[in-house]
Amino acid sequence: MVRQIIQPGIAVFILVMAALYTSTVGAHGKVAMEDDNCMRRIGENMIHLSTYQPQIDKEGHYCTDIPKAGNAILVIDLVDPELRDMPVGVKIIKGSNAAEGEAITSLRPALYEDGVISTQNVLDQGKYLVLITAEGLPPLSYEYHLRVEMVNYANVFRATVGPAVGLLLATILVYKLLRSRRFKNWLASRRAKPS
């Protein structure tokens, strides 16, 4: 009887731990370059965006979901050496549409031989569009949609699904156990034994 209770309990525990572990794997920083959501690729050309807010978290870096409004440092890495030989420009637009938004920063196309473009801005709560253009043949254009101090409901949903499924499985297991004849017989035999 005890073995029949322990085996499903271990299985439920393993499922809950696996669900909790997979929700933490998606954090930025420990993924392959090709799988990084901060990486943009056009053909063989790749760039990477990192956003820092040292006044909030000295070691934290973000990509498109920035936790707090305020001062933000955007660092664009021109990963491919070919991009370092082309004039590259950056425009940051308040809003999610380049035609309708207001440009808050505009860096004219220039050569960045070290492969790093850095700009510092004060970002209010809301959406922003970062446009990066390289004047090559053909011209290249990269986009990043930033969300500043906004709840990402997809991430919230993913973070809660694992624990909710684990709790549901544990509830079903306990319900089945309490309703089983063996458990009722075992409970009745325990009550019948004199202490």
- Which DSSP string corresponds to 177-193? HHH-HHHHHHHHHHHHS
Higher pLDDT, 23 or 158: 158
Residue whose tokens read 């973000």: 62
Task: Answer whether residue 11 shows pLDDT above 80.
Answer: no
Report the share of the chain in percent with pLDDT over 70: 81
Contact between 64 and 147 under an 8 Å Cβ cutoff? The reply is yes
- Which of the four pLDDT bands, split at 50, 70 and 90, describes residue 162? confident
DSSP code for 34: G
Segment 43-88, tens digit of pLDDT: 788 999 999 999 888 888 898 889 899 999 999 999 988 899 999 9
pLDDT score recorded for residue 138: 83
The span from the CA of 29 to the CA of 15, in Å, is 25
- Which of the four pLDDT bands, split at 50, 70 and 90, describes residue 28? very low
Q: How many CB atoms lie within 10 A of CB 36?
A: 16
Task: Answer whether residue 98 shows pLDDT above 50.
Answer: yes
Contact between 4 and 169 under an 8 Å Cβ cutoff? The reply is no
Higher pLDDT, 158 or 126: 126
Mean local confidence (pLDDT), 163-191: 86
pLDDT score recorded for residue 7: 60
